[in-house]
């Protein structure tokens, strides 16, 4: 078993119920290989942590930016609590070292691992809330996640690629991008799309995804790179 006391000391989280801390790191796949393990997987903690995270971030934004409209605060919050950002924080905190995974999942280091890390960060928040209370969660989230906010605001990282590409296109050449499906395949429950983003008749870039929204976002990202915007 991994030594979770290292994690507690490193981040000042002294749990009363050590099992609750360990459970935050138990992935469903681990229990498939270790059915006799004494704890359940972390998905219920993740559910709770997600809500606590949203509340702490919302409260911070509400108090710190009284002059900002709801729409802008929503965009900033989304940039802080999206899976990519949470996975990045989880990596910085080296939560990867404590994951309890199946042998197969241990070898998987791509997008699936990022997703697991983001979920584990939320699970840790959920466990911290249950064991140490709201204020401990608030301190932890402010220390490791909210500190990213000034950079997000300053560099416009809260804007998704589609919004960014539209702003740049309208500002630079006075044209609104159009997205068209170039190809789609697969059954309804597992569709794949290739979508092209056009400026007038010019096909600027293509993007692929398992939903139209994902493919459009990918196309916009590629278009920003293609145009050097």
Mean pLDDT of 132-137: 96
Last residue of a domain, which of 97, 124, 154? 154
Is the pLDDT assigned to residue 203 strictly greater than 80?
A: yes
Q: Which of 85-94, 136-145, 165-174 has the lowest mean pLDDT?
A: 165-174
Q: Which domain holds residue 61?
A: 4-154
Give the domain CATH number at 77: 1.10.1520.10
How confident is the model over 75-131, as pLDDT tens digits? 889 888 888 899 999 999 999 999 999 887 877 777 778 889 999 999 999 999 999
Percent of the chain beyond pLDDT 90?
Answer: 63
pLDDT at site 111: 74
Q: Do 91 and 19 have their domain in common?
A: yes
pLDDT at site 152: 85
pTM above 0.85, yes or no: no
Give the domain CATH number at 194: 3.30.160.20
122 is catalytic: yes
Q: How many CB atoms lie within 10 A of CB 204?
A: 19
Mean pLDDT of 143-150: 93
How confident is the model over 31-80, as pLDDT tens digits? 999 999 999 999 999 999 999 999 999 999 999 999 998 878 888 898 88
pLDDT at site 197: 96
Last residue of a domain, which of 119, 135, 154? 154
Kindly provide the b/e burial profile for residues 66-100, where b requires at least 16 CB atoms within 10 angstroms of the residue's own CB: eeeeeeebebbbebbbeeebbbbbbeebebbebbb
Domain count, the chain: 2
154 is catalytic: no
Candidate list 50, 160, 216, 217, residue with the active-site label: 50
Q: Do 167 and 210 have their domain in common?
A: yes
pLDDT at site 90: 95
Candidate list 8, 14, 46, 122, residue with the active-site label: 122
Average pLDDT of the chain, as a whole number: 91
pLDDT at site 160: 75
Mean pLDDT of 177-186: 94
Is the pLDDT assigned to residue 144 strictly greater than 90?
A: yes
């Amino acid at each position: 078993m991994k030594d979770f006391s290292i994690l507690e000391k490193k981040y000042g989280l002294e749990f009363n119920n050590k099992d609750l801390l360990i459970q935050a790191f138990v992935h469903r796949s681990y229990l498939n290989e270790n059915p006799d393990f004494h704890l359940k997987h972390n998905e219920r903690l993740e559910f709770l942590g997600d809500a606590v995270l949203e509340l702490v971030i919302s409260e911070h934004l509400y108090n710190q930016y009284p002059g900002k409209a709801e729409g802008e605060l929503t965009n900033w919050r989304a940039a802080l609590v999206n899976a990519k950002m949470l996975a990045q924080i989880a990596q910085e905190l080296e939560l990867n070292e404590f994951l309890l995974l199946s042998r197969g999942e241990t070898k998987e280091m791509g997008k699936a691992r990022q997703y697991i890390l983001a979920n584990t960060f939320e699970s840790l928040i959920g466990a911290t809330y249950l064991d140490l209370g709201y204020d401990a969660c608030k301190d932890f989230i402010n220390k490791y996640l909210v500190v990213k906010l000034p950079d997000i605001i300053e560099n416009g990282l809260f804007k998704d690629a589609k919004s960014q590409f539209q702003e740049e296109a309208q500002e630079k050449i006075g044209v609104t991008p159009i997205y068209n499906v170039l190809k789609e395949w697969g059954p309804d429950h597992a569709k794949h799309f290739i979508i092209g983003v056009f400026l007038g008749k010019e096909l600027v870039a293509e993007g692929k995804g398992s939903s139209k929204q994902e493919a459009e976002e990918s196309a916009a990202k590629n278009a920003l790179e293609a145009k050097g915007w």
